[in-house]
Structure 1
Amino acid sequence: MLQQQILTLLFINCIIALLLCQNAQAGPTLYLPDSPIAGHPRLFLNNTLIETAKQRSQTDMKEYYQWIYSRAKMLAGESDHAQDHGIEAAETALVYLITEKPEFFDTAKKLLKASIKFYRLCDENNKVVNWFSTSRINAICAYDWLYNSLSLSERKSMGLDLLTHTASVQPVFGQKLKGRNYSDHSDGFYGTRSLAWYAGIAFYKEGIDDALALKFINQGYKDYIKMLEYRKNLAQDDGGLSSYSLNYEMGACPWAEFNFFHTLKSAYGIDMADKWPYMGLWVNYILWNRLPGNRWFGSGDAYHETNRLPEWQSYTHLAQIQHFYSAGYPDYSALAAWLGTKFEKQKFVNTWPAVPFLLSNKQKPKAPEEFIFPKARHFESLGQIFMHSGWGDEDTFVQFTSGGNVKMHKHFDENSFCIFAGGFLALDSGSRPEPGSHLSHYYSRTIAHNSILIHMPGEKMPKYWSAGFAPGEPVLPVPNDGGQNQYTGSRLAAFETCDEYSYAAGDATGVYNPEKCALFLRQILFIPPRHIVIFDRVESQKFGQKKTWVLHTARKPEIQGRIFKADHESGRMFCQTLIPEKAQISCVGGTEPFQSGGRNWPLPDDFKIPNNHELLGQWRIEVSPSNNKRETFFLHVIEAGQAKNLKQAHPASLISENRMTGVKFKSQNREVSVFFALTGEAAGHIRITEQNKIIDRPLTNKVQKQSGLAIDTENISDNGQ
């Protein structure tokens, strides 16, 4: 066994050396000292930080400490059979460092040995330990934290096992084990690649394989810097990380940055967070996603069970922002503190047991109303625009998707929109069973979103990631829903926001099959407090290719002529079709709400969410022209607000001016007229009259610049002059 491990390390050593040579020019310059601090611990903790943890365990962190202490006591009864106990081993090792009681050392060592045994068995049988590296990094931490109390032989044998496992799961010349997560700097970076940094620090200059450990340090450092650069470029001056879905943005993704910052500090004494302020600005993205009741629309691969913001780790993530950015970016920290108060679970998680003891600089909360925010915010890389009438529980919120470049867990949903006002009135439909064809054959598709379908018989639709078909499901190809075939590739043609309105235009032509789509240009205008105007220009390549305008609702809509009404919770929406003038309006759903390609794609019977759950979108409205000419226009006016304030739809009339088509309606005491160009680039005109105040100006053809928490209002004045 020992000889085999040594040969494995020698082989991997050569591979890592080759990888380092290949990446030498592309990688960042290393500014690390020659080696980590002498002695142990080094990962998250060092001797100084242990003393801090001891003090805080009896003061402000007493509740958290008592929780992990009680868990460590219970873990004494665990067997030493091969099982992954990485997190539990780290928890118990931490309690040992704080208490110095031998019973916790014995338990932690037993759990660590059981984990190592499990990793070794997985390697020997070509099995995957876990999609995430979390437990294994924690096991390495447990080794590091127990190091000073281990015998020399235990240090060598356990260290060799952990280092060998780390080496054996690195990607080698493209050979990959199915189910193993090799995610790199452009993904979640919580797979096997992330192990290198921690293993290198823990085992360097311990006489096991110092050369390989140093290579792991260098490779790990390069990978983390690459990740920071990549995510910084995505966040730009807006905020947001590497995933289209908050399940990941507020789940495992942020740990990569935060843990790197913590271990640089503990092992090298380097404070690096202030060089990467995008992690503080991340709070801006969370804020704009947030809806009343601490919910969100559920973009990308969300479950749509409650649509509540992810609870489990969010409080800890927000505390990290306060810790790292309170000095240099106090507004980020104060806003993070306010968001932290909105979660029911205001407790730290034990995913990384030592981290809560490292977090300080708790800030005084500062609510959004204390800032000067715009009425809309554009997140460029994520391709999302959020519009609202205010931050209150009875305000109206709109999300529009266009022009991003992030693909992680994104759907075929360009130029789609969602609306919330007292409830989810226009929503993304479906959920993500694993396994189950519902995810790959319906939920990820354009038909499950509020966008446009262009039907071309015989079109083969692209695949989407999937855990396969559920037991008993027929194995069928992806249906032709008439939707998009690219996640990204649309272009945001225009965006502006002011107190009176917010406007965006998206050209999604590039995300459809070019054999069917010559143009899909959507212009969306939100006029607070509750009017949304949507104008679509759709041109197919051939006569006869049917176009369908889609809007999903939680409950069954009531159709009366060209107007339909849909309620959810305390909210209500009226939607009026003005163009096509001879529209075919139909309602799809009920017992078969997830229809696409001529059949329903239900959730598996054993899935945690039933098929009739309202937040999955039980119904959809489909609007099509009476003929299938190449060019089709759609013009809709939506009112969304509290049902108590919306007894009936307010009149909206079709108007025209200067070869543009448009709509006229009243919004509170204002007369509103909006016009849209029928040809050329996205263009139009808006006129709002209220007493002596008049807005009368073209809709912009530029994308308004925004930065940080505020807005650049250059070239946009109150009177439009």
Structure 2
Amino acid sequence: MTARIGGFARVTLGAKSAWLALCLLGSGALSPVFALNVDSQHPRIVFHAADLATVRARINGPHAALFDDYYAWAANRLEDGRRNSYDADDYAAIYLLTGENRFGDAAISIAMDMISRGQDTSGEGDGPARSSAISLVYDWCYARLSTSQRSTIYAALYPNVNVHPDYHQAWFIRDYNWSYMMAIANDGTASQNAAVIANLEESIAQFEDFFIPCLDRSSPESAIDGYAGLRIMTLLCFVDALDRSTDYQGSVLSSNYYRNTGRFWMARMRPDFRWAKMPGKYNTSESEPGAYFSYAGAFLGDRDAQYMANLLVNDEGLGGRDATMALAWHDPNAPANPPAGLAKDYYDPVAGFVLDRSGWTMGSNSSDVTLGFFNGTDQVGHRTQNHFYVTRGDDNLIIDSGHRFHDLANHYYTYYTRSVAHNTVLIYDPSEDFGSFTNVWGDEIIKPNDGGQTDSDDAAGEARWPECNGLYGYRGEITKYESTSDYVMVEGDATPAYASAKTNLVLRRWIYLRPDWIVVQDRVRLNKPNLPVRVVYHSVDQP
């Protein structure tokens, strides 16, 4: 019989022996038959052996302009002597696509130097989606590596087989182990290969048992979280590798979160082809629009995303890792629809946001308005309940202020994450203490009393999203949402976000009257009389 375990099929002698095999896996008493098969050829990460001829042909055809710009950029860096870890994947990609040995040799030289210094050989890497740059050099430059170099890199990467997913780690797959395992699969001894496959299965099991059930529950229509760029790109690259370079057919491929990737990023795209800046630690970084839309268009059948990918690839130009992934994933022949027929507002009730717009005209001449309202899950300690932003074309009207330099820089906890940096309500209680933190230089810094929101309720978050194992804190929610052709009305209850000693009600009603008016109504009920209440709006220029 065949017993289904996660996304794999294990062939056993009978029902009882299936359980016996599982019990003995950890002891080494039985050598299981692994049904996950990884392509024996390289590459397997972002680029795939089966697609390589097609991808290479496109750089002399529909992708010629995109590739020429990318090539010129990488060649300039190479000729200038740039040899840091963040160059390795670009040089390796150019070698893979062209066969030019100077790029392959430069990438290999960087990888060997990194190994000699113990850099990027485990954990979070310097490659796209925080994969290991060394893994990518091994995978993409495999044909150029000498036997000795292959052996050296394999020996540096293989110890990650002993790194196992932590189901109690809130941030998905913090070890980023999949890229190490995917790169070296099939390239060792029989026992090493079996151990690599087993490690990949553990990462897939974490996907199936924890990460995807959590996100299908907490963000079923979106990719919104404090680590949006980091997590969704990690997910896409891993699932892409499973889908294109293995025989995996498991539940991740049918996940709502995965299937709806393109919808969220479409709603977030401004007319000037920039992401709307949303609350969160990495709200604009690690975001490759060409990659997201190319993937959704080519592999998820999202015609609107494909239309956007075509605009970006053909008209707007892409650089760096966005170009790498677009060259790998963009299919110029995939069906595309102009987004004009899409709904203008996009609502995720659990993640707690509404993204809206006056129209779908894209480009430098567009004067379309884009807006967003937020009141939902909290992941990285940003006090942003009932915050909103407004842009018109490429003009930032009401903004999410501040900039992240470093988590422990003075600016981060004293301003960037605080309510005072966002467009929301402040209630100043002089007795409120927001604590302190130790900055990157070792100094204790007092967090100022901005009158804003406090820590989220982690217990309430775990009760609401038990599948997420404490990933989200609860700080409020959207309690009402109405949408018509004339207006969108959102009501957000941010009461749980404020200290109960000073208030028992903070309610905002936010109304967008298409296309040009916004009405904001705030209702606050104090537990202490005469506390100053302020509403903060940020703009680049004086209104």
Normalised by the length of structure 1, the TM-score is 0.57
Instruction: Give the match for residue 177 of structure 1.
Output: none
Q: Does 1:367 align with 2:345?
A: no
> 1:578-617 CA distances to partner (integer Å, 9 max, x unpaired)?
xxxxxxxxxxxxxxxxxxxxxxxxxxxxxxxxxxxxxxxx
Q: How does 1:404-553 map to 2 (within 5 A)?
A: 404-408=376-380, 411-420=382-391, 423-434=395-406, 436-461=409-434, 468=439, 475-487=444-456, 488-553=474-539
Instruction: Give the match for residue 113 of structure 1.
Output: 112
Q: How does 1:563-582 map to 2 (within 5 A)?
A: 566=543
Same amino acid, percent of matched pairs? 20
Q: How does 1:257-656 map to 2 (within 5 A)?
A: 257-270=235-248, 275-276=254-255, 278-279=257-258, 281-294=260-273, 298-301=277-280, 313-326=288-301, 329-334=302-307, 336-337=308-309, 340=312, 345-347=316-318, 349-350=320-321, 353=324, 356-360=327-331, 362-363=333-334, 365-371=336-342, 373=343, 376-391=345-360, 393-394=366-367, 396-402=369-375, 404-408=376-380, 411-420=382-391, 423-434=395-406, 436-461=409-434, 468=439, 475-487=444-456, 488-556=474-542, 566=543
Distance 1:295 1:102 in 2: 35
Q: 1:395 to 1:520 in 2, by over 3 A?
A: same
Shift of 1:378: 2.0
Distance 1:162 1:355 in 2: 27
Q: 1:347 to 1:387 in 2, by over 3 A?
A: closer
Distance 2:235 2:282 in 1: 26
Q: 1:310 to 1:76 in 2, by over 3 A?
A: closer
Instruction: Give the match for residue 195 of structure 1.
Output: 177
Q: Which has the larger radius of gyration?
A: 1
Paired residues of 1:196 and 1:219 also in contact (CA < 8 A) = no
- Secondary structure of the residue that 1:299 maps to in structure 2? coil
- Secondary structure of the residue that 2:536 maps to in structure 1? strand
Amino acid at match of 2:290: Y
Q: 1:340 to 1:224 in 2, by over 3 A?
A: farther
Instruction: Give the match for residue 231 of structure 1.
Output: 215
Between 475-484 and 202-211, the greater mean CA deviation after superposition: 202-211
- Secondary structure of the residue that 1:499 maps to in structure 2? coil
Amino acid at match of 1:507: D
Instruction: Give the match for residue 256 of structure 1.
Output: 234
Q: 1:352 to 1:112 in 2, by over 3 A?
A: farther
Distance 1:42 1:469 in 2: 38
Distance 1:139 1:485 in 2: 41
> 1:506-526 CA distances to partner (integer Å, 9 max, x unpaired)?
221111111222111222333
Instruction: Give the match for residue 218 of structure 1.
Output: 201
Instruction: Give the match for residue 622 of structure 1.
Output: none
Give the number of the structure whose residues are more often strand, by fraction.
1
Shift of 1:242: 4.1
Paired residues of 1:36 and 1:268 also in contact (CA < 8 A) = yes
Amino acid at match of 2:110: L
Amino acid at match of 2:57: Q
Instruction: Give the match for residue 11 of structure 1.
Output: none
Instruction: Give the match for residue 162 of structure 1.
Output: 157
> 1:184-226 CA distances to partner (integer Å, 9 max, x unpaired)?
6x5465x5x2223542552446128334323321122223444
Shift of 1:302: 7.3
Distance 2:152 2:420 in 1: 56
Distance 1:400 1:34 in 2: 43
Distance 1:102 1:292 in 2: 40
Aligned-residue RMSD, C-alpha: 4.4
Distance 1:295 1:47 in 2: 32
Distance 1:516 1:31 in 2: 62
Paired residues of 1:399 and 1:417 also in contact (CA < 8 A) = yes
Paired residues of 2:352 and 2:374 also in contact (CA < 8 A) = yes
Of 41, 44, 52, which residue of structure 2 is paired with 1:50? 52
Could you list the runs of 5+ residues in structure 2 that have no partner in the other structure? 1-21, 27-31, 457-473
Shift of 1:357: 3.6
Shift of 1:140: 1.8
Instruction: Give the match for residue 470 of structure 2.
Output: none
Q: How does 1:118-137 map to 2 (within 5 A)?
A: 118-119=117-118, 137=132
Shift of 1:462: 5.7
Paired residues of 2:92 and 2:104 also in contact (CA < 8 A) = no
Distance 1:199 1:42 in 2: 11
Q: Which has the higher contact order (CA 8 A, sep 6+)?
A: 2
Instruction: Give the match for residue 469 of structure 2.
Output: none
Paired residues of 1:301 and 1:431 also in contact (CA < 8 A) = no
Distance 1:526 1:354 in 2: 36
Normalised by the length of structure 2, the TM-score is 0.74
Amino acid at match of 2:513: I
Shift of 1:241: 1.0
Distance 1:221 1:266 in 2: 15
- Secondary structure of the residue that 1:536 maps to in structure 2? strand
Amino acid at match of 1:163: Y
Could you list the runs of 5+ residues in structure 1 that have no partner in the other structure? 1-19, 25-29, 175-183, 557-565, 567-721
Shift of 1:133: 7.1
